[in-house]
Amino acid sequence: MNSSTNIDWIDKSLYPFESHYLQLPNGKMHYIDEGKGDVLLFIHGTPTWSFLYRDYINAFSKNYRCIAIDHLGFGLSEKPENAAATPQWHAQNLVDFIKQLDLNNSTLIVHDFGGPIGLASGIELADRIKQVVVFNTWLWKTKTDEAALKVDKILNGVVGKFLYLCLNFSPRVLLKKGFADKKKLTKRIHQHYLKPFPNKKSRQFLLKLGQALVGSSDWYQEQFEQLDRLEKKPFLFLWGTKDEFITPTYLQRWKERLPKAEVHTFDCGHYVQEEASVATIKAIQSFLS
């Protein structure tokens, strides 16, 4: 199902794409589908959506079929009530999406919570995945990580719930904290991350995914132990070294697990796609060719 993206807060000069919607068992998913050729499948984390990959879609849709989803509860996708909204729930939605569109020979591109979500789907559908591009993310247990445990304690307490649900804390404050160069997050761009979450009900998805940072720890580890299903495929890591959330120690862990992967580091924060799009687009172009 197609429709023009006609939402008053979307700046069409930044996000000029036609909207598509796919009915999944858990809700209606919004996605962008631009260009023809081998599939590049873009998977975002929190509190972002397909808008994060706008420069990549513009650059690559000339030669590739660029598909960028909005997880249910994010961006322009439906926000179904009482959804589990855990990473494993999102991963199942992505598996359903890939099967319904019958995507094959795809390059999986993941970031943040989109890492465990996308990689879990890739592990399940390994025969449909050609190669993998990874921005700052993880795929192993978090319940022994002190920083993650601190976040978990806040998000499961009264204060964390208030900040997330009443003050839209994730896109308003944490997103900004994720930028090393704050000037890159202009007011115009920031609006596109704030507007998908206008009220408490819509922000449940941010809270639930945040609570899953440690809540889904065992599930991440299960995926990590099945990574051999993907490890023979080419991997490219594009890492922001000034990320205060997912630090270079995470990259070290990846290098130990996937020693043959190609790795590029960038002097930027967590949202590499916003701070280093030109350089990372070049790195992906070279990797794809």
Classify strands 129-135 and 65-69 as parallel, antiparallel or unpaired: unpaired
Rounded to an integer, what distance in angstroms lies between the CA atom of residue 20 and that of residue 5?
A: 9
Classify strands 2-4 and 27-34 as parallel, antiparallel or unpaired: unpaired
Measuring CA to CA, which residue among 74, 166, 155 is closest to residue 114?
A: 74
Mean pLDDT of 51-74: 98
User: Residue 7: pLDDT band by 50, 70, 90 thresholds?
Assistant: confident
For 13-58, the pLDDT digits (tens) are 999 999 999 999 999 999 999 999 999 999 999 999 999 999 999 9
**Cα–Cα distances in Å, from 4 out to 31, 127, 175, 194?**
12, 33, 27, 21
The tokens for 80 are: 């179904």
The tokens for 212 are: 């899953």
pLDDT cut 90: percent of the chain above it = 97
For 202-217, the pLDDT digits (tens) are 999 999 999 999 999 9
**Domain locations in the chain as residue ranges:** 2-142+219-288
Query: pTM of this prediction?
Result: 0.97
Looking at the predicted structure, is the pLDDT value of residue 225 above 80? yes
CATH 3.40.50.1820 fits 2-142+219-288, yes or no: yes
User: Residue 4: pLDDT band by 50, 70, 90 thresholds?
Assistant: very low
Rounded to an integer, what distance in angstroms lies between the CA atom of residue 44 and that of residue 167?
A: 22
